[in-house]
Amino acid sequence: MNVIKRASSGTMESSDVYVEIEPAQSGLEILLESVVKKQFGEEIERTVREVLSEEGVESASVRVVDRGALECVIRARVETAVRRGRGEA
Amino acid sequence: MTKLVKSIREVIELCGLKDGMTVSFHHHLRNGDHVLNLVMAEIAELGLKDIFVNASSLFDVHTPLGEHIKNHVVTGIGADYISAGLGRAISRGIMEKPVEFRTHGGRPADMARGSSPVDVAFVAAPTADPMGNCTGKIGKSACGSLGYAFADAMYAKKVVVITDNLVPYPLEGFSISEDFVDYVVQVDAIGDPKGIVSGTTRITRDPVGLVMAETAARVIDASGLLTDGFSFQTGAGGATLAAAKFLKEIMLKKGVKGSFGLGGITAYLVDMLRAGCFERLLDVQCFDLDAVESLRTDPRHQEISAMHYASPVAKSAAVNSLDVVLLGATEIDCDFNVNVHTDSQGSIMGGSGGHSDTAAGAKLSMIIAPMFRARLPIITDRVTCISTPGKDVDVLVTQGGIAVNPRRADLRDRLLDAGLNVVDIRELKEKTERITGTPRALPRGDRVVAKVISRDGDVLDEIYSIPEMK
């Protein structure tokens, strides 16, 4: 299920990630900034897409500002942003 | 005779500074230093070119050097430590000639060997008399020890003392004496007292840091070295300071009377001195005002020169009498080589300082570092830059286990006997990567931007430029 409103989760603290999600016309647009983009950029984008897919989000605009978060943190932050965007949380 | 000269510009001319010569500075005023910038601005005004700047350390307050580099006033830099702002510019390649990194012991050793000659040394002195006797213990810009400046005063062809507190001759309790000094210049302010203590770190409150610190103290306790006469140095990082606090508790509980604390001195070591953990502090640099006050008032707290601290060509140096040193790392590899020069992006943000001197000298050199910082594992296959060679590093303490250098089977057995969590460094690396994932290797630039010169005077490693971010 797609998001119905703009929502965010996370912080800009080191080892955390800030995620912003908003409704989009069609498809997924993911904008990634990361302090470890050179080392983990592809993994981070894959993790974000996996969570969106698990949540059934087919179209959304997502901004991810990563400060070196572990994969489990990224998963939790994306999931939270999605649920907030649906008005569930 | 008079050594008093009215201005910095006049003294530069009197010293006969010419294109291609070397000037030196010391860093006890740290990020509050005004002297390097004042002197370099005058050198630029005078139209001099191709100057080599030999500084014991450079801080972000010294970023005006970037302009002097662009204008070819400065074409060479030597330092033991360069902080992140200026370091990034160097990593991006603003210098044509590679920066020469030395250690706090190697710098005076290379001056003594003649391989790193200095034409004019500028000594920032919080108090001086008109003949150049000077000290850092008193004055509005008091910084405590002048340890790194002794070699500059002894080996430079010309020595200029720059002070903002000129007192009548002869100054009581001087550190550097007039017999080395050619000229004295009085200025309004040699530094900003707020920046002088800017690098001070407090004990960490991070639970991971506290676990590492407590483990570090237990490793020292189990090492067999914690007996009467024990000697100790710790860095000023949050976790190493916390380890000192845990160590103090163990020493007081067991009634261990140590002999000396060494190095850059912080309030925490002063506290250990006062609590009876040590008989003496040997101080090459004060990190905070408590250390300055203690050096000024407590005769057990003694100033030492960089040669006395760590020079490999001194007849003896304090690091060689050291039992335990606690050190940090940005990276460590499976051969225990340690990087403290570059950050996780390969950009210069530090330097050895006394890291490799104390690691080489101490009976137990311990690295304290978390398994990862901001997803990047600390343990790598090969460090980006070898700051301290693995042969001088005995043990790595992380929150996920203690890795002992295979050369120290004796230490490993002691730690195992004490029930500590000893793991192979490769296993620790794999354990970390199961949490973080395996990072892709960083692309490196094609130019050598710095050479790391070991305390023995050889090139230990080279630092490459960082490619521009896409």
User: Do B376 and A36 make contact, defined as CB atoms within 8 angstroms?
Assistant: yes
Domain edges within chain A: 7-85
- Which of 181-240 (B) contact A at CB < 8 A? none
For chain B (470 residues), the mean pLDDT of every run of 10, in chain order, is 95 98 96 97 98 97 96 98 96 96 98 97 98 97 97 98 98 97 98 73 83 96 97 86 93 97 94 97 94 96 98 98 96 98 94 97 97 96 96 97 97 98 98 96 92 96 84
- pLDDT in the model for residue B235: 80
Token look-up 């720059």 returns B162
Give me the CATH code for the A7-85 domain, please. Answer: 3.30.230.10
Q: B464 is written with which tokens? A: 């490459």
CATH class of B4-56+104-196: alpha beta
- pLDDT in the model for residue B203: 77
Q: B327 is written with which tokens? A: 């050190």
Contact with chain A for residue B444, Cβ under 8 A: no
Token look-up 């606090």 returns B245
- pLDDT in the model for residue B443: 86
Q: How far is A14 from chain B (nearest CA, A)?
A: 6
Write out the DSSP string of B288-308.
SHHHHHHHHH-TTEEE--HHH
User: Do A36 and B373 make contact, defined as CB atoms within 8 angstroms?
Assistant: no
Across the interface, of B374, B442, B443, the residue whose CB is closest to A35 is B374
Contacts of A42 in chain B (CB under 8 A): 440
- pLDDT in the model for residue B238: 75
* Beta strands B324-327 and B231-234, pairing class: parallel
CB B383 within 8 A of CB B331: yes
User: Do B374 and A43 make contact, defined as CB atoms within 8 angstroms?
Assistant: no
pLDDT, tens digit, for every residue of A30-88?
999 999 999 999 999 999 999 999 999 999 999 999 999 999 999 999 999 999 999 98
Q: B228 is written with which tokens? A: 């009467």
Contact with chain A for residue B467, Cβ under 8 A: no
Q: A83 is written with which tokens? A: 């649920």
CA neighbor of A80 nearest in space, from A8, A17, A5, A3: A8
- pLDDT in the model for residue A1: 86
> Does 1.10.3720.10 match the CATH number of domain B207-442?
no
* Beta strands B99-101 and B448-453, pairing class: parallel
Q: How far is A68 from chain B (nearest CA, A)?
A: 4
Distance CA B459, CA B456 (A): 9
SS (H, E, C) B378-434: CEECCCCCCCECHHHCCEEEECCEEEECHHHHHHHHHHHHCCCCECCHHHHHHHHHH
User: Do A71 and B437 make contact, defined as CB atoms within 8 angstroms?
Assistant: yes
Contact with chain A for residue B344, Cβ under 8 A: yes
- pLDDT in the model for residue B249: 96
- pLDDT in the model for residue B162: 98
- Tell how far CA B457 is from the center of its chain: 17
CA neighbor of A48 nearest in space, from A84, A17, A5: A17
Domain with CATH 3.40.1080.10 in chain B: 4-56+104-196, 207-442
Distance CA B185, CA B208 (A): 49
CA neighbor of B382 nearest in space, from B348, B332, B429: B332
User: Do B345 and A38 make contact, defined as CB atoms within 8 angstroms?
Assistant: yes
Q: Which residues 6+ apart lie within 8 Å of B324 measured at CB?
A: B220, B223, B225, B230, B231, B232, B233, B362, B363, B364, B365, B366
Q: Is A74 exposed, middle or buried (0-12, 13-18, 19+ CB in 10 A)?
A: buried
Q: Which residues 6+ apart lie within 8 Å of B358 measured at CB?
A: B233, B262, B263, B310, B319, B322, B325, B327, B365
The secondary structure of chain A in percent helix, strand, coil, rounded to multiples of 5, reads 35, 25, 35
Q: Which residues 6+ apart lie within 8 Å of B228 measured at CB?
A: B256, B257, B258
Distance CA B145, CA B457 (A): 26
- pLDDT in the model for residue B205: 84
Q: Is B268 exposed, middle or buried (0-12, 13-18, 19+ CB in 10 A)?
A: buried
Distance CA B287, CA B198 (A): 8
Contact with chain B for residue A35, Cβ under 8 A: yes
Distance CA B290, CA B286 (A): 9
Q: B431 is written with which tokens? A: 């354990």
CB count within 10 Å of CB B288 equals 22
